[in-house]
Amino acid sequence: MKWWFVPLWKTVHYFAVSGLVGIVGLIDLRILGVAKGLPLRPLQRLMPWAVVSFLVTAVSGYALSRIDPANTIGPPVNVAYAAKILFLVLIGLNDVLYFATGLKRQVDGVGAGDSTSASAKIVAAVSIALWIGVVYWSRMLTFLSGAI
């Protein structure tokens, strides 16, 4: 394997994570009341790009885990890796809740200067907390490898 293989995949992964966290972070922060001048419908129209970014993180993340499986899926399974996947599943459930309960459509109607509902704020706060968690567990991957 060429020496630049791992840093190249990591760079791709990091770019995609930045795009993803950028979009998700801006939508969540706006729902929580930051930069209220932004209407939410055009902001939420960026969601497909967040999905594209997520797919790139998934592919590059899978490639990285295959390069050094001992660091993630083991055996023994890395605690940080297990926690990261759990948090991603929780994010998925939180997102399903957001769409299935009609909150997404309700938030689409929130224009410039308007406030969102308390339930939308809770979903956004949970989303931010879980994403911070995902970054935390990702950073801990190399420090907690083989801990189970």
Partner 1 sequence: MHIVDILQQWSENSAFFTWLRESSSIWAYPMVFFIHTLALVFTAGASVIIDARLLGAARRLPIPPLSRLFKAIWIGITLTVVSGVVMLGTDVQTKLMNTLFPLKMLFVFAAIVLTAVLRNRVASTESSASPLVRVLAAASLVCWCGAIAAGKFAAYL
Residues that bind partner 1 in the complex, under the rule CB under 8 A: 3-4, 6-7, 10-11, 14-15, 17-23, 25-26, 29, 34-39, 41-43, 45-46, 112, 132, 135-136, 138-140, 143-144
For partner 1, give the closer residue by CB, 34 or 70: 34
The least CB distance from residue 66 to partner 1, in Å, is: 18
The least CB distance from residue 38 to partner 1, in Å, is: 5
For partner 1, give the closer residue by CB, 89 or 135: 135
The least CB distance from residue 111 to partner 1, in Å, is: 11
d(CA 50, CA 129): 17
Residues 6+ positions from 65 with CB-CB distance below 8 Å? 71, 72, 73, 81
* Token output for 141: 């991957």
DSSP three-state, residue 68: coil
The least CB distance from residue 70 to partner 1, in Å, is: 18
Greatest Cα pair distance in the chain:
54
User: CB of 1 within 8 A of CB of 63?
Assistant: no
